[in-house]
Amino acid sequence: MRSMTQLGNDLYSGKTSFPFVQRRRLWFIIAAVFVIAAALVPFIRPIQFSIEFTGGSQFTVSNPASFDQAIATEAVASVVPGAATRVTTISDQAVRVQTDQLDDQQTQDVSSALADGYGVPATEITNSFIGPTWGEDVTRQSLWGLSIFLALTFVILALYFRTWKMSVAAIIGLVDVLVITVGVYAVFGFEISPAAVIGFLTILSYSLYDTTVVFDKVRENTREDGEISGRTFAESVNLAANQTLIRSINTTVVAILPVGAILFIGVPLGARTLSDISLSIFVGTIVAAYSTLFVAVPMYALLRENEAPMKARDGRILAAREKAGVPA
């Protein structure tokens, strides 16, 4: 069995090769299935947005005698029957209760019901209200942040790599990451909060970094004098993806280990305020690694291999192979 070092050497030299580009139709079909499924999930199971986006009332119960979430649900229902209630244990000393917008009297009644239910004095109950206007502003700012990020990404990549087609391939990969990550949130009923949005932007940055590293190797392999290598354009792109494969795997593993520690160890031990951002980064980092190699790289090859210079170069290489009796 080959070691990782030997595998890395074989991938770099081309002795071993994974068909990222050659089997791109399969990868595109799989990616399309993932994206369509992720896009349809919210229609079946609506995305859960936090109170910062939807507006509403929030209560914090400090030092409760019990952490039973049913107590909070029943307390709210006793005052406002049918109200949507989300209960979260935010530490080993507090429970957070979020519900629909309440008036002053309902807020007082819910506070009293929570105090009775959790066996704490009224002073241990704090409440706050987030209006719909503030929630709309958060949503608008989040969308603006995402739009600006994508626009700057397109421009900077186009200037750096001197081709807009790399920008298009990278943006498609980023959208793939975002849609699938949000779809995972919807499937498992995770709540999207401002912290989760920060996590989304973080993983988009990671995905962009990973894509840029791979594309830099692609540019090196496909530069104008690359014809002397005897590889077609698609083969050069695929070689670049394989040459950076081990680096991508190592970077992804190193990135998800600390985040996974927070998510699977820290959160159960009480660090629940970090759950939203750690979850989005954990899921998004894994999806980003897949998207770079199976979506962005093959897409770039597809966008460029039909250009006249590339077709002419590939034609000369294939003709030379045929003349030499080398299988295409």
Supply the pLDDT for residue 301. 92
State the pLDDT at residue 267.
67
Indicate if 234 and 287 belong to the same structural domain. Answer: yes
- Last residue within a domain, chosen from 110, 130, 150: 130
Residues 18 and 164 reside in one and the same domain: yes
Which of 112, 130, 148 is at the close of a domain? 130
**Cβ(279)–Cβ(196) below 8 Å:** yes
Residues 126, 218 within the same domain = no
Rg (C-alpha) for the chain, rounded Å, is: 26
What pTM was estimated for this model as a whole? Answer: 0.80
- pLDDT, residue 242, reads 92
The reported pLDDT for the residue numbered 31 is: 93
- The alpha carbon dihedral of 218, 219, 222, 225 has a sign of negative
| Domain co-membership, 60 together with 188 | no
For residue 130, CA distances in Å to 77, 82, 145, 265 come to 20, 20, 21, 31
User: What's the pLDDT score for residue 82?
Assistant: 81
CA 298 → CA 1, 20, 253, distances in Å? 29, 6, 23
CATH number at residue 63: 3.30.460.30
CATH code for the domain in which residue 312 is found = 1.20.1640.10
From 130, 160, 191, give the residue that closes a domain.
130
Q: Structural domain tally of the chain?
A: 2
Query: How would you write the pLDDT of the chain (328 residues) with one tens digit per residue?
Result: 566 677 777 777 777 888 999 999 999 999 999 999 999 988 888 888 877 777 788 888 888 888 888 888 888 898 888 888 888 777 778 888 888 888 888 889 888 988 888 888 888 888 888 776 766 777 788 788 888 888 888 888 888 888 899 999 999 999 999 899 888 888 887 878 888 888 888 888 888 888 999 999 988 887 754 556 678 888 889 999 999 998 888 899 998 998 888 888 876 766 666 777 888 889 889 999 999 999 999 999 999 888 888 888 878 887 877 777 766 5
Same domain assignment for residues 21 and 115: no
- pLDDT of 228: 63
Q: Are residues 76 and 151 both part of a single domain? A: no
| Structural domain boundaries enclosing 171 | 4-48+134-324
Instruction: Specify the pLDDT at position 263.
Output: 82
| Same domain, residue pair 75 and 217 | no
31 and 122 assigned to the same domain: no
For residues 172 and 231, membership in a common domain is answered with yes
| 200 shares a domain with 88 | no
Query: Is residue 43 exposed (0-12), middle (13-18) or buried (19+ Cβ within 10 Å)?
Result: exposed
First to last CA, the chain: 30
3-state secondary structure the chain: CCCHHHHHHHHHHCCCCCCCCCCHHHHHHHHHHHHHHHHHHHHHCCCEECHHHHCEEEEEEECCCCCCHHHHHHHHHHHCCCCCEEEEEEECCEEEEEECCCCHHHHHHHHHHHHHHHCCCHHHEEEEEECHHHHHHHHHHHHHHHHHHHHHHHHHHHHHHCCHHHHHHHHHHHHHHHHHHHHHHHHHCCEECHHHHHHHHHHHHHHHHHHHHHHHHHHHHCCHHHHHHCCCHHHHHHHHHHHCHHHHHHHHHHHHHHHHHHHHHHCCCCCHHHHHHHHHHHHHHHHHHHHHHHHHHHHHHHHHCCCHHHHHHHHHHHHHHHHHCCCC
Residues 124 and 180 reside in one and the same domain:
no
State whether 247 and 301 are in the same domain: yes
